[in-house]
Amino acid sequence: MSYEFKFPDIGEGLTEGEIVRWLVKEGDEIKEGQSFVEVETDKALAEIPSPKTGVVLKILAKEKEIVKVGQVIVVFGEKGEAVTLAAPPLKPKSVGVVGELEEAPEEPAVPEKRPAIEKPAFVSPHVLATPAVRALARDLGVDIEKVKGTGEEGRVVEKDVRQASEAKEKPAEPVKPPTKAKKYDFYGYVEHVPLRGVRRSIAKAMVKSKYTAPHVTAMDEADVTELWKIKEKEKKTAEKMSTKLTILPFIIKAVVAGLKEHPYLNASLDDENEEIVLKKYFNIGVATDTPDGLMVPVVKNAGDKSILHLAEELLQLSEKARNRKIDLADLKGGTFTITNYGAVGGMYGTPIINYPEVAILGVGRMKEMPVVRDGKVQIRKILFISLSFDHRVVDGAEAARFLNTVIARLEDPDLILLES
């Protein structure tokens, strides 16, 4: 008997994914547990295993196609079996507070002597609405059964009926036929690149963040001369452990210290319940530049790990991200993000918050600069940093205090070691 395989939720609330590559073709035999398709979801690649042994009867989604969770993408069965797709489900019975309700028969239409607005033949008594709202629906020719109520317990209110009436009166927009992409415009030749994969995920996330959280960016600098000396001194120790020591693990430890003292930066905003959710754990996302676009692996419980442990984990996560072998779990659960754009140049920036987090720290280029210390000009290593934050949750003064805490640890690394 044929089996319709529906695209599953493989990523904590996933709603869609992109078919990257089919690993089988129609007519191939397949074993239970064998990977048969490669999909891209939320910036990660994943191979989906077959739930049963059989034959691939029909592939229903093309490569590069975006499919929804629950959509049938392939049919398995026995060799020579005909493909029979299940019919769409019938309209369910009305459901009330106490369970299923039998549909009432439609009342016969009564002919009218003169033309009038077409009115629904029957108004269900099971729709929550006042008599006045029902009368309004009849007058406007709105089928109240098809109106989604926005009142308490789904009650249909006057506003819902009027909006349904206005929507009914609007003419349907004409469907535009697909147009062939031109290879040139008025000024010269162009190339059309589909917005897919990681770039599509980035685009959606950036728009949601920018148009949800009011961004404000504060900028400062830190003298990391002493920190750099410690990093250079312990670099060989890290190499013996087959890892690479940078200043990023130190920055993570400094950020965690700042988050402990200023918990509103380690939070998210629950708009629906109007609550600020303070996180009691410290999962630090680190933006990573990959050939396919920006990805943000998350170091879980960063405050409990040593500098060398952080360095090792950062190296492993960045390699997995660049090779597209990273697990979805490693991209989830962040409470605060660090983006080190200074590694490729630039001093200051205005990074976009990794929503639903409320803050992100941008790390710029480290530069040797003349600085006055004790009345004398010295050449010091200066690190430029930028903090973008959600002004609904964090005020400017609190953001400045957080930066002061981070800078104090970066300028005096002994504080980091004492807190480890």
Bridge partners, 384 (sequence order):
221
54 three-state secondary structure: strand
| Nearest CA-CA partner of 73 in 140, 151, 18 | 18
Told to judge if 215 belongs to the known catalytic residues of this protein, a careful annotator would answer no
CA contacts within 13 A on the Cβ side of 416:
29
Cα radius of gyration (the chain): 29
Q: Are 321 and 288 in contact (CB under 8 A)?
A: yes
**In the structure encoding, which two tokens stand for residue 215, read together?**
């961004």
Query: Rounded to whole angstroms, what are the CA distances from 247 to 186, 277, 307, 321?
Result: 49, 30, 9, 20
Cα of 372 vs its chain's centroid, Å: 45
Query: Rounded to whole angstroms, what are the CA distances from 228 to 160, 208, 246?
Result: 63, 37, 9
CA contacts within 13 A on the Cβ side of 113:
0
**In the structure encoding, which two tokens stand for residue 385, read together?**
């940093």
**In the structure encoding, which two tokens stand for residue 296, read together?**
């943000």
Q: Are 183 and 189 in contact (CB under 8 A)?
A: yes
| Dihedral, CA of residue 70, residue 268, residue 363 and residue 196, to nearest 10 | 20
Q: What are phi and psi of 13, to 5 degrees?
A: 90, 15
Q: Are 69 and 7 in contact (CB under 8 A)?
A: yes
**Which residue is catalytic, options 192, 215, 309, 391?**
391
Omega within 30 of 0 (cis) for the link into 89: no
Catalytic residues: 391
